[in-house]
Structure 1
Amino acid sequence: MTERPAAGTAATADDHELAGELAGQAGRLLLAVRDEVGFGDARALKDTGDLRAHEYLMGELAGRRPGDAVLSEEGRASVAGKSATAVAMDGPPTANTDEALRLAASRVWIVDPLDGTREFAEEGRGDWAVHVALWDGARGGLGAGAVALPAQGVTLRTTPRGAVTASLRDGSEEPLRMAPPAPGGLRIAVSRSRPPEFVGRLAGRLADDGIAVEPVPIGSAGAKIAAVLLGEVDAYVHAGGQYEWDSAAPVAVALAAGAHASRIDGSALTYNRKDPRLPDILVCHPGSASTLLTVIREVTGGPPG
């Protein structure tokens, strides 16, 4: 995509619906890739899924929002790091919008075509996702977003009035509303492979206040944040390194659903920057935010450097 993005307007109801549609359709495509490629060659399965979902999203956005910029995880990928089988089948990934044009754009789609490739390539796992978000310069932040959990049959997406959970099977939708955690305990979603070391110290410090912490390993960032919003866990804390595409769509949905979402020092999560790294995050019920931010500050010795 090389054309200069148009000035654009604020996110519309159509943008919310498009985010949900594209995330859901990319999710169905990925389920078909699992069936086609199988689980015998994990690298080929991961890379074929990444490339096909990326090309689908880039093509749809180019055709349906031609004036908007796009930042995709796979648009930055090195072909040299991809499976030769996947590249031979599907070719190299379409490039992102030129950085200078993206930073000057008023509307930027931030997508992760396959969040949680490890889980996607493990038969029977459903904790992987597709992320589609719109950064809206008129709002100075995220304007719309959707997180598809294809193997779980649902998509969480924003609407002009909040957030909904939509069935990928029949399209039915229900309002997404967070429930406060039960007194005396917190279930905290953590990485399966790289849980932040301070979560152990966080648990110890909360125990001093009579709050028992149960770490719950979950795969992708989108699946973790979705678990918070669906009441399967109470919070997600991460400090092991992420990028904008890892959190933009889940954070858009979380904020629309009334959740707290911030950096672990309490500062705002900001998007469409020159450097897309966004290394840490806290998502939880607003009623837990003050306690968690205070204890995180204590166990980390202050804001992260």
Structure 2
Amino acid sequence: MPESDLDLLIDAAREAGRIARRYFRRDPGIWHKPGDAGPVTEADIAVNDMLKAELCTARPDYGWLSEETPDDAARLDASRAFIVDPIDGTRAFIDGDTSFAHSLAIASGGAVTAAVVYLPMKDALYAASAEGPSTLNGQPIRASGRSVAEGATLLATKPNLSSEHWRGGAPPPFERKFRASIAWRLCLVAEGRFDAMLTLRPTWEWDVAAGDLIARRAGARVTNRLGNAIRYNAPDPKAAGVIAAPGPLWQSLRNGLAE
């Protein structure tokens, strides 16, 4: 059995990747969640079932929060909780796009203490603990040193740059880019391949918990859209948006947003 929480998440993420590869581009069963909550596939459920069995067996006193498991309020009484998105970027997975990810985190006292984001089709494993550096396939990574908005690359969907969200009716002069997985967007900021990421709508904890720690341990500042630290394993497990960027660039984003 892995000794540390981070080792446990790494082993589980790699096993999740082995399962996802078996379904990828092989016409898995697809259905839609109630309330227009998006699609889910056989692969999502198979990965979720494995992760819940393996992780909760290894740490039976930890709570469990996952996109593909009905929420159980018992997690609120646990000192630590797993926060899991079995496949972040399900639509990309369905489309045969390799940019989907497995997002696994452990939270304690409202903060993430161990995190892994794994893209199995790219064999890219991002990891961090609360005490150590962020890594990509075992090598340390660092957020960019970009301090000004002009020319900076921003990972965001187009609606986030609509005029109503910004003071004066226009966002700073970013170069907008997009990747399907929110968890991977945060990791790409951690890696310094892109300068910042932004999402303004309420965002599920399982989409951002792992990427939050990885980006922060790589030197980025990560908050909700109001500038506050995101508290995890909350009764209502949604963040009020996410801003992630190096400090001065984060301040530029935050200052530009309309209240």
- Give TM class, smaller chain: 0.7 to 0.9
| Contact 1:128–1:222 (CA under 8 A) maintained in structure 2 | no
Matches within 5 A, 1:154-165: 154-159=124-129, 160-165=131-136
| Contact 1:191–1:219 (CA under 8 A) maintained in structure 2 | no
> Which is higher, the Rg of structure 1 or of structure 2?
1
Report the counterpart of residue 199 of structure 2 in structure 1: 238
1:292 aligns with 2:253: yes
| Contact 2:126–2:214 (CA under 8 A) maintained in structure 1 | yes
In angstroms, what is the RMSD of aligned CA positions? 2.5
Q: CA deviation at 1:255?
A: 1.6
Q: CA deviation at 1:126?
A: 2.2
Report the counterpart of residue 249 of structure 1 in structure 2: 210
Q: CA deviation at 1:241?
A: 2.6
Q: 1:144 aligns with which of 91, 100, 114?
A: 114
Pair 1:268–1:13, CA change in 2 (3 A): farther
Q: What's the secondary structure of 1:292's corresponding residue? A: helix
| Contact 1:196–1:239 (CA under 8 A) maintained in structure 2 | no
Report the counterpart of residue 101 of structure 2 in structure 1: 129
The number of equivalent residue pairs is 249
**TM-score, normalised by the number of residues in structure 2:** 0.87
Q: CA deviation at 1:231?
A: 2.2
Q: What's the secondary structure of 1:152's corresponding residue? A: coil
Q: What percent of counterpart residues are identical?
A: 26
Distance of 1:56 and 1:75 partners within structure 2: 12
Q: What's the secondary structure of 2:174's corresponding residue? A: strand
Pair 1:253–1:222, CA change in 2 (3 A): same
Report the counterpart of residue 181 of structure 1 in structure 2: 146
Q: CA deviation at 1:158?
A: 0.7
The 10-residue stretch of structure 1 (223-232 or 60-69) with the greater mean CA deviation from structure 2: 223-232
How far does the alpha carbon of each residue in 1:76-117 deviate from its partner, in whole angstroms, 9 at most, with x for none? 2xxxxxxxxxxxxxxxxxxx5x30x21111010110101110
Report the counterpart of residue 278 of structure 1 in structure 2: 239
Report the counterpart of residue 85 of structure 1 in structure 2: none
Distance of 1:236 and 1:215 partners within structure 2: 9
Report the counterpart of residue 14 of structure 1 in structure 2: 4
Q: What's the secondary structure of 1:130's corresponding residue? A: strand
How far does the alpha carbon of each residue in 1:181-216 deviate from its partner, in whole angstroms, 9 at most, with x for none? 286311111137x6453598579342xxxxx31111
| Contact 1:262–1:269 (CA under 8 A) maintained in structure 2 | yes
Q: What's the secondary structure of 1:74's corresponding residue? A: coil
Instruction: State the AA in 1 paired with 2:27.
Output: G
Q: 1:110 aligns with which of 83, 99, 124?
A: 83
Distance of 1:51 and 1:58 partners within structure 2: 10
Q: Gaps (5+ residues) in structure 2?
A: 33-38
Distance of 1:199 and 1:255 partners within structure 2: 29
The 10-residue stretch of structure 1 (23-32 or 49-58) with the greater mean CA deviation from structure 2: 23-32
Distance of 1:31 and 1:198 partners within structure 2: 41
Instruction: State the AA in 2 paired with 1:38.
Output: D
Matches within 5 A, 1:251-266: 251-266=212-227
Q: 2:156 aligns with which of 190, 196, 210?
A: 190
Report the counterpart of residue 119 of structure 1 in structure 2: 92
**TM-score, normalised by the number of residues in structure 1:** 0.74
**Bigger share in helix:** 1
After TM superposition, where is structure 1 displaced by more than 3 Å over at least 4 residues in a row? 41-46, 198-205
Q: Gaps (5+ residues) in structure 1?
A: 1-11, 77-95, 167-172, 207-211
